[in-house]
Structure 1
Amino acid sequence: MSEIKSVAVAGASGTLGPHVLKALIDANFQVTVLTRAAKPGAYDTSVKVVEVDYTSVDSLTAALKGIDALVSAVGHGATESQTILIDASVAAGVKRFIPSEYGSVSTNSKLETFPIYAPMFKIKHYLQEKAKAGKLTWTVLACGGFLEFLFGQPFLLDFANHKANLFDEGDNRMTSTSLPNVGKAIASILKNAKATENKIVRISEVIVTQNGLLKIAEEVRPDIKWEISKVPTSAILKQGLDGVAAGDFSMPTVMKILTGTVAAGDTYGAAYDETDNELLGIKEFSEEDLKKLVAEKLA
C-alpha cells in the first residue's frame, strides 16, 4: 500500500473526534473534516472543512475525492449508517477505513447478536467484504473503556462519595485507554498502514480491577471509610436484555448491556494481555501513574 497522506474525519466534534484531529495534525497528515454544517473557527486553520449530506453517497463521494483514509468517530446511533460512508469511500478510491467502534469487548464473537454490538459486527463484515473484493482496506481499533469515563464517572469507584459497587467480587479485569492515546493510536495505524491492514489492533494503557483501585485508594487515603456493595454482572446484563426485548431502547437500558459485558472482565475478554502498544507507540501506566490518578480523584 502506498503512503497515507490525506485523512478525512467523520464525527470530529464528538467525544473522541477532537483527540483524533489533534493526533492527526500533530502527525502531519492533511486533514479534512466532514460536517453537516460548517461553523467558522470550529477547527484548526490547517484543517479543511467540507459540508456533506451523510445520507448521500454522492455527496460523501465528492468530499472524499483525493482522500487516502477515512476515520469514523460517529456516535453509536450512527453505527449502522457507516455503510454509506464505506460505499462513498469505495467510490472515491479511499484506501483505508477505520470504523467508529473503539470498544472494549465489541470484537468478541459471543456478543455478535447482542443489542449494541450487532451493528458493529455488521460494519466489520461489510468492511471485510469490500476488502476481499479489493475495494479498500480497514482497521478496527479496540482500546478498552475510555479512561476519562471509567475514572470520571462513578463506574469503577465513586470517588466523590467513597462508595464501591463491586461487579461480581471486584476482581474483574478491564483494559482502559485515555482519549488522547486513542487518537495517537489512530494516527499510528495510518503511519503503519501495511502492518495494520485488514485487522483488529488492540491497545491498553492500563488493566484495572475495582479491588486493585480500592486498595490503592485505601493506601493513599487511609482516613477514608469506603461503603462497599456488590452486584452480579450477569444480573445487570439480564436486566438490559430483558428491557430491549420489551421494547425499551433507552440509554439506561443500553448502559446495562454495556456494563454487564464490559464489567464482566475475562468473561468477554475485557482485558487485553496481548496488545499492539509497541507498534502504535502507546506507553502503559506504571504503578505510580495509577496511584497518582487515584490520588487526584481523592484530593
Structure 2
Amino acid sequence: MAAPNQSRNITVVGGSGTVGAPILSALIAAGHKVSVLTRPESNATFPGTAKVHTGDYSDEEFVASALKGQDALIMALNYNVYAAQIPLIKAAAKAGVPYIVPAEFGSDATHPKLNAEIDLMNVKAPFRKLIEDLGVSSWIGVTNNPWVEFSMRLGVYGIDLKNKTMRFFDDGNVKANFTTLTRVGETLAALFALPEEELEKHKNAWLYTSSFYVSQRDLLASAARTTGTKEEDWAVSSVASDDVIAQSREAKARGDMMGAAMALFALVFKEGYGGDYNAKVVDYKRFGLEPEELDEVMKSLAKELA
C-alpha cells in the first residue's frame, strides 16, 4: 500500500548542500510546501517553488518568524557547524514546530559497540537532548550509514572503480546497509506524507534508511557487471579490520581526524558493529518507494569516475 500524499509545511536548512539538495528536491517532488533558510552571504540558488528566508541562523527571532506555521524543520548541516543547530532548535520551539530532523545523518547512533569506537553519540546527543528538554518539538534521527555515492567516490568502501582495485575488510562477506543521498531525501519526503497517527510513532526515534543490503563482494560483483569486466580483471587484496581500527586509533591520538575516520568504514563491514541494521529498516512498501538497483548506481558512478 502506497503512502498517502499528505502535504506538510517543511523548512530545510542547508538545502543547497550535498545532503540538503536531494532532500529539498524530494520534498518538492512529493508535493510538500517547502521553505529554505539561507545566510545573507550565501550565493546558493533554490527551486522557484521553494520560499526563501534570508537571515542569520543565530538570530532566534528571525528564525522563529520564518518557522511560524511550519510542521517540520530539517537541518542538513555539515559536521563542522553542528553548533549552529542550537539557535535553530530554540527558534523552532518558540515557533511551535512539531518535528525537527537534526543533522544526524550517519551510522547507528544506538549501537553500543560502534559508539564505543567512534563516539557518535557524544557528538550528536546534546542536540537531541536540547529538543527534548525544550519540550515543544520532537526529533527524528536519520540512520543511513556512509552514503553510497560519497563513499564510492572516496574509495572508502575498499573499491576503486577507476583503477579496478578492491580491498576487502577481512573476507569481504559481511553484509551491511547502505543508502544513496537520493533515497535519504525520498524517505524523509514519504515519512512526512504519512498521516499524523503514523508520523507521531517516529517521535524521538530513529528512521533507518537503506538502498542496498550488500557485502563488499556484492559490490565487486556489481562493479564487474557494470564495467564489462570479470572479477579476475580486478586487483583484489584484503586487510584485517582490527588492523584498520588500531591504525585509526593511532591517527586519532595524533590529531589526524581523516585517518581516525577510517575506523568507521572498517566497522561498517565488521560483524556485530551495527553496519547491519536490516531488521530496523523502514517499510518502503508502506512509504510507496520502489527498490533501487545497485547496478544502476554503480554504472553511473563508474562513468563519473572513469
Q: 1:283 to 1:238 in 2, by over 3 A?
A: farther
Which of these residues, 89, 93, 105, is aligned with residue 108 of structure 2?
Answer: 105
| TM-score of the pair, normalised by structure 1 | 0.84
Report SS of the residue matched to 1:191.
coil
Q: Deviations over 1:40-83 (max 9, x none)?
A: 78111111111222233333223222222100100111224323
Q: Distance in 1 between matches of 2:298 and 2:43?
A: 39
Q: In the TM superposition, what is the alpha-carbon distance from 1:183 to its structure 2 partner?
A: 0.7
Q: 1:202 aligns to what?
A: 208
Q: 1:272 aligns with which of 270, 277, 288?
A: 277
Distance in 2 of aligned mates of 1:197 and 1:203: 16
Per-residue displacement from partner, 1:217-276 (whole Å, max 9, x unpaired)? 456522852212222223323333333333x154x2343243233343x32211222211
| Structure-2 separation of matches of 1:14 and 1:244 | 27
Evaluate the alpha carbon distance shift between residue 34 and residue 249 of structure 1 in structure 2; reply closer, same or farther with a 3 A threshold.
farther
**Matching residue within 157, 164, 177 for 1:175:** 177
Whether the aligned pair in 2 keeps the contact of 1:162 and 1:227 (CA below 8 Å) is: yes
- CA distance in structure 2 between the aligned counterparts of 1:29 and 1:7, rounded to whole angstroms: 7
Residue identity opposite 1:271 in structure 2: D
SS of the residue corresponding to residue 141 of structure 1 reads strand
Distance 1:223 1:243 in 2: 33
Q: Which residue of 1 aligns with 2:236?
A: 228
| CA shift in 2, pair 1:109/1:120, >3 Å | farther
CA deviation profile, 1:108-166 (whole Å, cap 9, x unmatched):
23344634552123323333444xx3x11221121233221233332331121111111
Aligned residue in 1 for 2:48: 45
Give, in whole Å, the separation in 1 of the partners of 2:161 and 2:260: 24
| Alignment-derived partner of residue 71 in structure 1 | 74
Give the aligned partner of residue 23 of structure 1.
Answer: 26
Alpha-carbon contact 1:168-1:230 (below 8 Å) kept: yes
Tell whether the 8 Å contact from 1:5 to 1:30 is kept in structure 2 after alignment: yes
Cα separation, 1, equivalents of 2:43 and 2:237: 49
| Alignment correspondent of 2:155 | 154
Greater share of helix residues, 1 or 2?
A: 2
- How many angstroms does 1:292 deviate by? 4.7
**Whose RCO is larger (CA < 8 A, sep 6+)?**
2
- Please, which moves more after superposition, 150-159 or 268-277? 150-159
- 1:122 maps to 2:126: yes
Deviates more, 1:193-202 or 1:179-188: 193-202
Q: Return 89-98 or 270-279, whichever deviates more.
A: 270-279
- What amino acid maps onto 1:191 in structure 2? A
Deviates most, 4-13 or 147-156? 147-156
Aligned to 2:190, the other structure's residue is in SS state helix
CA contact (8 A) 1:233 1:259 kept: no
Percent identity of the aligned residues? 26
Query: Could you tell me the TM-score, scaled by structure 2's length?
Result: 0.83
Task: Please list the CA deviations of residues 162-193 of structure 1 after superposition, one character each: whole Å capped at 9, or x if unmatched.
Answer: 11111122122221122121111111221222
Structure 1, unaligned runs of 5 or more: none
Distance between the aligned counterparts of 2:144 and 2:288, measured in 1?
Answer: 13
